Amino acid sequence: MATGTREALIHTAEGLMRTKGYAAFSYADLAKMVGISKPSIHHHFPAKEDLGLAIVEAYIGRVRDDFDRIETQDDRLVPRLEAFFRMFRGSTEGSYLPLCGALAAEMAALPAGLQAITRRFFDIQLSWLTKIIEQGVEGGEVPVGRGARQKAFVLLSLLEGASFIDWATRDGDVIDPATIRLIVEQG
């Protein structure tokens, strides 16, 4: 039961972080939602930062698995970027903000450990995007242009920003996957 409780806490707290923000939820909120006492939460996660770190580490693990899956499914750049786009969009369904973006919005208020892992999470995404764009350049699929890192930064910025606008407006107007091609194919 302890593992099940721990996983329930991580899952529920992730939802709270992605809808309310890290600073806006408490162990009291979490206890009520999971149906356990606050001391039980402290048994699993002595400090809220410990819980936040566990959430982000678990999320990073899932994202890395997705990256591995994307790379094995196709070796061409555009299908990989389209798969990343679908993965990213899927992570924001259900009125969720992207975890990385939600944390970055609160960066100044986060404990040092969460600041560090948020930076690491962005770097993991940017590094992966840079790597696959570089492979696309080497394979002649896209021009070098501004460089792979710059294109990766623009792509991730576009997806993160679009998710925040969509979350705030609830319009459902999101960017089209074809936009990804425009970014990587520009010289």
Domains, the chain:
52-185 (1.10.357.10)
Residue 150, CA distances (Å) to 105, 122, 126 in order? 22, 14, 9
**Residue 1: per-residue pLDDT:** 40
If you ran DSSP here, which 8-state letter would residue 68 be given? H
Is a pLDDT exceeding 60 seen at residue 187?
no
The angle at the Cα of 146, spanning 144 to 150, to the nearest 5 degrees, equals 110
pLDDT, tens digit, 9 for 90 and up, residues 141-174: 888 777 899 999 999 998 898 888 888 887 766 6
Give the type of residue at 28.
Answer: A
- What are the pLDDT digits (tens) for 87-119? 888 877 777 889 989 999 999 999 999 999 999
Dihedral sign from CA coordinates of 28, 34, 35, 41: negative
Residues 6-24, mean pLDDT to the nearest whole number: 93
Tell me the DSSP string of 109-154.
Answer: GS-HHHHHHHHHHHHHHHHHHHHHHHHHHHTTSS--TT-HHHHHHH
Measure the CA–CA gap between 154 and 119, rounded to whole angstroms: 17
Question: Does pTM top 0.85 for this prediction?
Answer: yes
Q: 144-159 burial, b if ≥16 CB within 10 A, otherwise e?
A: eeeebeebbbbbbeeb
The two structure tokens encoding residue 121: 């999470």
The pLDDT confidence band at residue 3, using thresholds 50, 70 and 90, is low
What are the pLDDT digits (tens) for 22-52? 999 999 999 999 999 999 999 999 999 999 9
Each residue's pLDDT tens digit, 18-27:
999 999 999 9
**CA atoms of 147 and 155, how far apart (whole Å):** 12
Closest CA to 117 of 97, 100, 96, 105: 100
Percent of the residues in the chain that have a pLDDT greater than 70, as a whole number:
95
| Token couple for 150 | 């710059």
Q: Residues 6 or more apart from 172 whose CB is under 8 A from it?
A: 166
Q: What is the pLDDT of residues 120-147, one digit of tens each?
A: 999 999 999 999 999 999 999 888 777 8
